[in-house]
Structure formats: structure tokens, C-alpha cells
Amino acid sequence: MWETIIGLEVHTQLRTKSKIFSSASTDFGSEQNTQACAIDLGLPGVLPVLNKDVVFMAIKFGLAINGKIAKKSIFARKNYFYPDLPKGYQISQYELPIVESGSINIFHKDKSKKIGITRAHLEEDAGKSVHDLFDDKSAIDLNRAGTPLIEIVSEPDIRSAEEAVIYLKKLHSLVRYLEISDGNMEQGSFRCDANVSVKKNTDKKLGIRAEIKNINSFKFVENAINFEVNRQINLLENGNSVIQETRLYDPIKNETRPMRSKEEANDYRYFPDPDLLPVVIDSSMIEKIKSDMPELPDKRLERFIKSYKLSEYDANILIADKFLANYFEETLKANNLESKIVANWIITEILALAKKSNIDTENFPVEPNNLNELLVFVKDDIISSKQAKEILQRMWLKGEKANTIIEKEGFQQISDSTELDKIVENVLKNNYKSVEEYMSGKTKLFGFFVGQVMKETEGKANPKIVNELLRGKLDKKC
């Protein structure tokens, strides 16, 4: 039997205003080449200055994974030639990274598993080659050059594509909880290289790995790994061997293809950057950051299950995203709403609206207090939950508040039993044949009567009261 071995290298863009070694802005989407200064371009005579925010962020991350924070770490030059790398080297960390030997826990198939994190180091990003701007030429945009990254390298502890995705989602959630990265995968703020190998499960030694570069969606990671595992098993079962190489994932063809093999691999000639001092971190700084740490996903999950009596499944969906979890707690704050009901509304309705309109959890157009107000109307039987869903859609799209929509559109639910009693009486009178059938045992017709009352009231009748009235009257007749 074959066993799959996976180790991931994740690059996360740190959420700073300015770059790692210069004061140029890190904003995404600005006009090309307007955000690269002399330092990012490596012009002669300039010196990089370390942005201290990136150090704080790396420490925060190191603490969150129970890692060792290096008292002294060193920036090194990684030398290679590429058109989008203006200096001819990337400033990174090599022998002495800022964080070492941490871990995170993942839950898979009802089991908890620890994935080791070998190291996390700081580095700068390169620029971007743009191939679709001119017909027969490539263009270079250097806005991204010098953007701060933290590279998080896992141990080869991951055993399947599924586990890889769970690990990545957990890491993604963590950097967002720590507010050290926005984790925006479409903009490349969270991307991953997957190292994949297979071996016979009786073998002690790991197999030869291929490294799939720069995958930027959870789905692609899963597909790329599965493809790669099958490719390697096929090779080995047919008496061929796997070669160590770098591969690219093509999402359109859903396959990986060779990029460069080990023989062509770069010799990076790492050496300490003479322009930068070692980063020295004292324990008081670590203590200070420790005392300011936010509540992290694992703790929050526990708390959500315990204090809000949510199922583990629901709690997991809510806590996976910090902003979603905050949204839930904010919505629940006032008016004694039931936590389970609020959780349901957010998980089904709100998340569906967010998905449809492609809005992320940080930017929901319906404020938590407005969702609270809507749910209070439902709780007080002013509107039915079916009406509330309709109203919520309008709140989401038009930014109106629940009470405005209810007043303007006459959405009020009819809960006055005297008024409903009259309508129910009428429905029964006008459908006496069905009443007779009901009495002779065709009890399925109950739904038909409810439907008729709803039709009469244009869906505004309070279904609970209608049910009670109908039961009372029909059972009396029986």
C-alpha cells in the first residue's frame, strides 16, 4: 500500500502599511510601478531599514503556534536572476529564522492531529510579470517588490490532500485571528507550495518529492496534490522513478507539469545581508506581545460550544472566520435572542447571501444590530420567518432596515386571532367538500387548508395561529 507524504510551505503577506524595508505603500491594485521606491528597486547607495511591525507580527505568529522565538535572527540574501527581482537577490532568512519548531492541531475524521511547523521566516516579495498587457512583450510591475511575507514551513506530517486543505484552512484562520494578514487568496496574500512524495507504507525512508509551486486556492491545492500522488504512484508501479523537481499546477487541465528539475535548480548562494543588522528580540518584548494576544480559534471553539450550546459543527463554521464569529456574537448581544437561532440564520441565510454577492465576512452590508432587530420581529411574531428571509435579502441588497421595509411594504404578519378566525371559518365554508373528505379520514388535507388561509392573506397569516385554529375547528367537527 502507498502512503502519501506532504509538507507545505505557505507564503502569507503581512498586513503592514509600508513595505518590509522601505516606506513605500503596500496597497493592492494601485497603478503599476507607482509603489516601488529606490530601496525596493535596490538602486545604488540606498540602505534597507527593517519595519518593526513585521517583527511584532512574526512574534505573534510564533506564540500562537507555540514556537520558539529566536533571540537573534539574521536576514540573508537569496541570489537568483529573474526579471521581476530588481536587486538580483531576495532578502529572506535562512540559517537563523525568527520562529522555529511550533505546531498546530487539526481535526479530521473526528480525530485531532498535530502538524509540526519547522520554521517561519520573514522575507520580501518579488515584483510581478504581466503577460497579457502587450501582444508580444511581457511587462513588469514592481509594486509588490518588497512587500513583507512570512513563510511558514511545515514538517512532512501531512498524509492526504484532505488533511493538507484542513491544515491550510486552519493556518488561514489563524493569521486572520492574529490580524497579521488579510489572507486574501485571490490577491495572492496567502499562497502555498506543496511538497509531495509517496512511499510504501512499510518503508521507513521518505520518497523523492516534487514541489508544486504557488497554488492559490484550497480547491487547487486538493486537486494538485491528488493529481501528483496518482502520477507518482503510476510511475513507481510501472518500474519508473520519481525525480526531484519543481512543478506547476494547471487548473484548466487539472494537471501538474515540470517547471525545472534539480539539475537546473538554482544555487542561491545565501549569505548574511551586510546592509541589515541581526534582529534582536528581548523577553520583555515577547511578554508584552503575549499579554496582548487575542482569543485564538481553538479557545473560541470551546467557548462557543460551552456558553452558546452550539453543536460542534455549527461552532466550527462560525469560529473558522474571526469576523464571522464576531458578527455572531454582536448579533446575539441584545434582546435575548436564542443562540441556536441566530447561528442558524447566519450559517444558512447570511452566508448564502455573502456567497452569492461575493462579499467577505469583514464587509457584510447588514450590521449585526440590524439583523438582531429583524430576528426580534420574528421572535415577537410580527413577521414569519419566511417573510424575514425576503426582508433580509432586501436589507442586504438595498441597505434598508427591517422596520422600514416592514412598514413600507405592509409586511406585517396577521397574528390577531379574531381576524384569523374569520378567515379560517370562511376557508372551511368555501371548501366544505374537502372538509368532509378530511373528516372521513383524509387527514393529509390539513396542509391544503393552511395553504388556502395563506392564499387568502397573501402569506401574511401567522402560521402557528392558523395551525391552532384549524386543528381546533376540524377536530371539533370530527
- Between 245 and 273, CB nearer to ligand ADP: 245
Cell triple for 154: 511545515
Judge contact between 318 and 305, C-beta under 8 A.
no
Q: Which is nearer to ligand ADP, 196 or 469 (CB)?
A: 196
437, 445 contact by CB (below 8 A): yes
Confirm if 353 and 392 have CB atoms less than 8 A apart.
yes
Minimum CB distance to ligand ADP, residue 197 (Å): 3
Q: How far is CA 365 from CA 146, 282, 344, 368, 394, in A?
A: 34, 43, 18, 9, 11
Q: Does 197 bind ligand ADP (CB under 6 A)?
A: yes
Min separation Cβ 206 and ligand ADP, Å: 3
Taking contact as CB under 6 A, which single stretch among the options 5-13, 343-351, 357-365, 402-410 is the one that binds ligand ADP? 5-13
Q: What residues from 206 to 265 belong to the interface with ligand ADP (CB under 6 A)?
A: 206-207, 209
Q: Which is nearer to ligand ADP, 20 or 158 (CB)?
A: 158
Query: Among residues 96 and 281, whose Cβ is nearest to ligand ADP?
Result: 96
**Which among 4-12, 19-27, 52-60, 74-82 is the span making contact with ligand ADP, rule CB under 6 A?**
4-12
Closest distance between ligand ADP and the C-beta of residue 228, in Å? 10
Tell me the C-alpha to C-alpha distance, in Å, between residue 440 and each of 175, 320, 386, 475. Answer: 65, 54, 32, 12
Segment interacting with ligand ADP, rule: CB under 6 A, options 74-82, 143-151, 202-210, 363-371: 202-210
Q: How far is the CB of 265 from ligand ADP (least distance, A)?
A: 9
Pick between residue 37 and residue 153 the one whose CB is nearest to ligand ADP.
Answer: 153
Q: Are 73 and 278 in contact (CB under 8 A)?
A: yes
Is 456 a binding residue for ligand ADP by CB under 6 A? The answer is no
The Cα–Cα gap between 395 and 404 comes to: 10
Stretch that binds ligand ADP, among 6-14, 33-41, 286-294, 397-405 (CB under 6 A): 6-14
Interface with ligand ADP by CB under 6 A: which range of 81-89, 193-201, 370-378, 416-424?
193-201
4 makes contact with ligand ADP (CB under 6 A): no
Nearer of residues 166 and 414 to ligand ADP, judged by Cβ = 166
Q: Are strands 89-92 and 76-79 parallel, antiparallel or unpaired?
A: antiparallel
Q: Write down the least CB distance from residue 116 to ligand ADP, Å.
A: 8
C-beta of 120 vs 140, nearer to ligand ADP: 120
Written as one string, the DSSP assignment of 33-87 is TSS--HHHHT-TT------HHHHHHHHHHHHHTT-EEPSEE--EEEE---TT-TT
68-71: list long-range contacts, CB under 8 Å, 24+ apart.
Answer: 68/99, 68/100, 68/101, 68/102, 69/98, 69/99, 69/281, 69/286, 70/96, 70/97, 70/98, 70/99, 70/100, 70/279, 70/281, 71/280, 71/281, 71/282
User: Contacts with ligand ADP: how many residues (CB under 6 A)?
Assistant: 15
Footprint on residues 320-359 left by ligand ADP (CB under 6 A): none
Which has the closest alpha carbon to 419: 468, 352, 466?
A: 466
Residue nearest to ligand ADP (CB): 7
DSSP 186-248: TTTSEEEEEEEEEEETT-SS----EEEEEE-SHHHHHHHHHHHHHHHHHHHHTT-----EEEE
Establish if 317 lies at the interface with ligand ADP (CB under 6 A). Answer: no
Among 12, 195, 232, 384, the residue binding ligand ADP under the rule CB under 6 A is 195
List phi, psi (to 5°) of 194: -110, 120
Question: What does the block give as the cell for 15?
Answer: 498586513
Q: Which of residues 145-164 bind ligand ADP (CB under 6 A)?
A: 153-156
Which lies closer to ligand ADP via its Cβ, residue 176 or residue 209? Answer: 209
Is 9 a binder of ligand ADP (CB under 6 A)? Answer: yes
Considering the complex, state which of residue 16 and residue 154 has its C-beta at the smaller distance from ligand ADP.
Answer: 154
Residue 92 vs 462, nearer CB to ligand ADP: 92
Q: CB neighbours (10 Å) of residue 3?
A: 16
> With respect to ligand ADP, which residue has the nearer C-beta, 37 or 198?
198
Which residue stretch of 140-148, 195-203, 320-328, 452-460 sits at the interface with ligand ADP (rule: CB under 6 A)? 195-203
Residue with cell 484532505: 162
Residue number with CB closer to ligand ADP (35 or 154): 154
Only one residue has cell 523523492, namely: 208
Which residues 42-101 are close enough to bind ligand ADP by CB under 6 A? none
Q: How far is the CB of 207 from ligand ADP (least distance, A)?
A: 6
What phi, psi does 356 have (nearest 5°)? -65, -40
Q: Count, in order, helices (H) and strands (E) of the chain.
A: 17, 16
Would strands 139-141 and 128-130 be described as parallel, antiparallel, or unpaired? antiparallel
Shortest spacing between CB 156 and ligand ADP, in angstroms: 4
Binding positions for ligand ADP, rule: CB under 6 A: 5-9, 153-156, 195-197, 206-207, 209
